[in-house]
Structure 1
Amino acid sequence: MIKWLRKSTSGMVVVTILRLYLGIEWTLDGFEKLTKGFDASGFIMGALKNPVMNSTGHPAYPWFTSFLKSAVKPHIGVFNFIVPWGELLVGLGILFGTLTLTAAFFGVIMNLCYLFAGTVSVNPLYLILEFIILAAGLNASKIGLDRWIIPWMRSKWPWLKRSVL
């Protein structure tokens, strides 16, 4: 399966279709937050008051609750800026095939944060699609701007060049 995703033309087409769908969804999510106003404080307070619980009735991710309390809540203004722009940029990167693997990686990080905070929503679906994109590697963005951007970046920064083992 991985070889098919990474090497085949049919895999490239299938992943491109999945990538376009996911990119549109992320872009629309980010655009909506930017244009309609976004305030994460209610969401953060809800996650702090009702953390995800495990089967024994204890918080499943106490480290994440601590992170929300100590790092996110005091700097909510920063997160009110980062979340919508992050969603929009992840969406555009995935949609246009621009630094696709980086965008998919940061999409995974955001989806995991939402899940750790207790919001299921579309996050499992997005995670599955992002993992498929990551598994496909550069084949996921051959029909996209990475076809030109990645070779250009490798010519400018030698440490990005592939090494032959």
Structure 2
Amino acid sequence: MMKFLRENVYAAVLLTLLRLYVGWQWLDAGFHKLKDGFDAAGFLKGAIANPVVDRGTNELIYPTFTKFLEHAALPNVKIINIVIPLGETLVGLGLIVGGLTAAAAFFGLLMNFMFLFAGTVSTNPWLIMLGGIVMIAGAGAGRFGLDYFLLPFLRKHLRFHRKGGGGTVPPVQPLPTHTAH
């Protein structure tokens, strides 16, 4: 199945359509927040006041995430108000143009899971399923996109070469030792 997703031209066509759909969902959500303004304070306060709990025991299901919202996200809501819309927009653009597709899908999944941990179901499960397929397909999902050109370029220019080593990372050199005179 993995080979099919990553190498088959018909799978690449279907993945391109899927990537465009998921990308549009992210771009649309992020762009509206950038254009119309976005304030996560109310959402964060609501997620802290009404955390996800086990109905049988009334215990928090994600206590660490709730503490993160309370002690890190809410006090830094001005940063969150920038990061969320910008992140959604960049994920959407990455998926639409097919540039760094697997990374864009990964960060989209990360945001989907964060929204779920905060108690928002909405379209998150649907986008997790579709985004997961795109991420698993990796370069196959970006075959008809910028990744077709970008990934070979990055592979070529980000490798470390030793003489005759062909793509291996050079060994760590020991630090020079100084002797007192």
Q: Same fold (TM over 0.5)?
A: yes
Query: 2:91 & 2:101 partners in 1: Cα distance?
Result: 8
Query: 2:150 & 2:17 partners in 1: Cα distance?
Result: 20
1:10 correspondence with 2:14? no
Larger-gyration structure (1/2): 2
Match of 2:72 in 1: 71
Alignment of 1:15-164 (within 5 A): 15-55=15-55, 56-158=57-159
Query: 1:101 & 1:149 partners in 2: Cα distance?
Result: 13
Cα deviation for residue 38 of structure 1 reads 0.2
Cα deviation for residue 15 of structure 1 reads 0.8
CA separation of 1:148 and 1:52: change in aligned 2, threshold 3 A = same
Which portions of structure 1, spanning 4 or more consecutive aligned residues, are displaced by more than 6 angstroms? none
CA separation of 1:20 and 1:45: change in aligned 2, threshold 3 A = same
Query: 2:3 & 2:167 partners in 1: Cα distance?
Result: 18
User: What runs of 5+ residues in structure 2 fail to find an aligned partner?
Assistant: 161-165, 169-181
Cα deviation for residue 2 of structure 1 reads 2.3
Query: 1:120 & 1:89 partners in 2: Cα distance?
Result: 22
Which whole-Å deviations, capped at 9, do the CAs of 1:80-120 have from their partners, x for residues lacking one? 00000000000000111011111111001100000000000
Query: 2:90 & 2:116 partners in 1: Cα distance?
Result: 20
User: What runs of 5+ residues in structure 1 fail to find an aligned partner?
Assistant: none
Query: 1:104 & 1:2 partners in 2: Cα distance?
Result: 17
**Structural RMSD (CA):** 1.5
Structure 1 counterpart of 2:41, one-letter code: S
Match of 2:179 in 1: none
For 1:59, what is the secondary structure of its paired residue?
coil
Structure 1 counterpart of 2:49, one-letter code: K
RCO higher in 1 or 2 (8 Å CA, sep ≥ 6)? 1
Structure 2 counterpart of 1:77, one-letter code: K
Structure 1 counterpart of 2:23, one-letter code: G
Percent of counterpart pairs with the same letter? 46
